[in-house]
Amino acid sequence: MTSNNVEHPFAEFIRILGKGKKGSRPLTQEEAHQAMRMILAGEVEEIQLGAFLMLMRVKEETPEELAGFVLAVRETLPDIPANTADLDWSAYAGKRRHLPWFILSSLLLAENGVKILMHGSASHSENRLFAQDMLSLFSLAIADSCAAAEQQLQTQNFAYLSIERLCPALNRMIHLRNLMGLRSPVHTLVRLINPFNAPYSIQGIFHPGYRPVHQEAALLLKQAHMTVIKGEGGETERNPDMECLAQSVHEGLLSEETWPALFSRRHVKPEKLEPKQLIQVWRGELQDEFAEASIIGTTAVALKLLNKVNTQASAQQLATEYWHNRNKNGY
């Protein structure tokens, strides 16, 4: 703890953010990098961390700040051999209105040769279903280390790593949500870390204003290929009842495209979420047009990102073929 007579070195970053309407400004990328390095190293007092996170929350993160934060997090991660994962898939929001059908999209891609690293967190919000808690339905083990995830990617083209294993400090900050009553920049940051440095990254957000922020942060981070969508519930999942704007980065160029709604009318959300329906739909034991459209539609967005196809129509067609030809007894 710093003496009362000596300013704590982290106080500079709080002052930059909190000096009032005229005196405050965003952090530069380097300042954000330094601030997050101190946080991750445990060099910040609890009261400072709370103040910092909430000041960031009020003003909202810039792409430069996010890039600086991500680079600091990556410095704490082990070196992973290139090409270990093809597609980075973040899963932190949790689902409230519909089941997390995107899990089936990721497994469908894995079955067809795409190595997917999914990372997320355990439940940190009431009344939401998190991917991490659904994987046991498919007899999929959560990787307990980066090395275990590497092995799973080799054997089954899919691995799930919890942020608790990847970066315990970030996990602790995510779970401050119930203490603060608000999300913090960490909820945005974790979606961007791409811990295995996969060449392709797909992300979902809830608030549309964050879509270009993710896109521009990916550009600063030199992410080769990335697509971000306003996903159902904030997850990386296309809602088939609505148009879907996808904003992307490809080799340093920004682009965007709108995917059409797949139904002319909105579906009524289920009264209760039954997780076992995930495996039942995969096995063909349960027919659900919303679920299938969501799974196929999400897979199509990923296929277009992965450059497996050139058009939306061909992406939708290939995703449909994947779904109809899936191994229903695979899980």
pLDDT by residue (tens digit) across 106-117?
999 999 999 999
State yes or no: pLDDT of 269 exceeds 70: yes
User: What would the pLDDT profile of 163-221 be if each residue is shown by its tens digit?
Assistant: 999 999 999 998 887 787 777 889 899 999 999 999 999 999 988 888 999 999 999 99
Handedness of CA 99, 106, 145, 195 (dihedral sign): negative
The pLDDT, as a whole number, for residue 127 is: 81
DSSP 271-314: SS--THHHHHHHTTSS--HHHHHHHHHHHHHHHHHTTS-SSHHH
Question: Does residue 215 sit in the same domain as residue 153?
Answer: yes
Question: Does residue 34 sit in the same domain as residue 127?
Answer: no
For residues 74-100, give the mean pLDDT: 95
Nearest to 328 by CA among 287, 278, 284: 284
Residue 116 bridge partners (DSSP): 87, 158
- Is residue 240 in some structural domain? yes
Q: Where are the strands (E) in the chain, listed by range?
A: 87-91, 116-120, 158-162, 200-205, 225-230, 244-250, 253-259
- Is residue 5 in some structural domain? no
Question: Does residue 140 sit in the same domain as residue 49?
Answer: no
Residues in CB range of 107: below 8 A, 6 or more apart: 138, 158, 282, 330, 331
Question: Does residue 22 sit in the same domain as residue 140?
Answer: no
Nearest to 236 by CA among 197, 258, 278, 206: 206
- Is residue 77 in some structural domain? no
Work out the end-to-end distance of the chain between its first and last CA atoms, rounded to an integer number of angstroms.
Answer: 52
Question: Does residue 217 sit in the same domain as residue 255?
Answer: yes
Residue 90 bridge partners (DSSP): 119
The whole domain housing 24 covers 11-59
Q: Could you tell me the pLDDT band of residue 3, with boundaries at 50, 70 and 90?
A: low
User: What would the pLDDT profile of 219-268 be if each residue is shown by its tens digit?
Assistant: 999 999 999 999 999 999 999 999 999 999 999 999 999 999 999 999 99
Nearest to 215 by CA among 244, 250, 241, 183: 250
Local structure of residue 44 (DSSP, 8 states): S
Question: Does residue 154 sit in the same domain as residue 277?
Answer: yes
Q: Token digits for 2? A: 């710093």
For residues 312-323, give the mean pLDDT: 98
A 10 A CB-CB count for 267 gives 16
For residues 280-294, give the mean pLDDT: 97
Question: Does residue 35 sit in the same domain as residue 178?
Answer: no
In one letter, which amino acid is 156?
A: Q
- Is residue 78 in some structural domain? no
CA distance 178 to 193: 23
CA distance 306 to 129: 27
Question: Does residue 169 sit in the same domain as residue 266?
Answer: yes
DSSP 10-24: THHHHHHHHSHHHH-
Round the average pLDDT of the chain to a whole number and report it: 94
Whether this prediction's pTM lies above 0.85 is answered by yes
- Between 185 and 156, where is the model more confident? 156
* Structural domains counted in the chain: 2
Question: Does residue 54 sit in the same domain as residue 94?
Answer: no
Question: Does residue 153 sit in the same domain as residue 17?
Answer: no
- Is residue 148 in some structural domain? yes
The pLDDT, as a whole number, for residue 177 is: 79
Q: Could you tell me the pLDDT band of residue 305, with boundaries at 50, 70 and 90?
A: very high
- Is residue 71 in some structural domain? no
Annotate 146-163 with b (16+ C-beta within 10 A) or e (fewer): beebbebbeebbbbbbbb
CA distance 167 to 163: 6
- Is residue 183 in some structural domain? yes
For residues 95-101, give the mean pLDDT: 95
- Is residue 32 in some structural domain? yes
A 10 A CB-CB count for 279 gives 17
Write the CA distances from 87 to 2, 67, 113, 283, 306, integer angstroms.
Answer: 43, 19, 11, 25, 8
- CA gyration radius, the chain: 20
CATH of the domain at 224: 3.40.1030.10
Residue 226 bridge partners (DSSP): 201, 249
Question: Does residue 114 sit in the same domain as residue 156?
Answer: yes
Nearest to 102 by CA among 130, 79, 124, 66: 130
CA distance 108 to 158: 10
Question: Does residue 44 sit in the same domain as residue 151?
Answer: no
User: What would the pLDDT profile of 22-33 be if each residue is shown by its tens digit?
Assistant: 889 999 999 999
State yes or no: pLDDT of 119 exceeds 90: yes
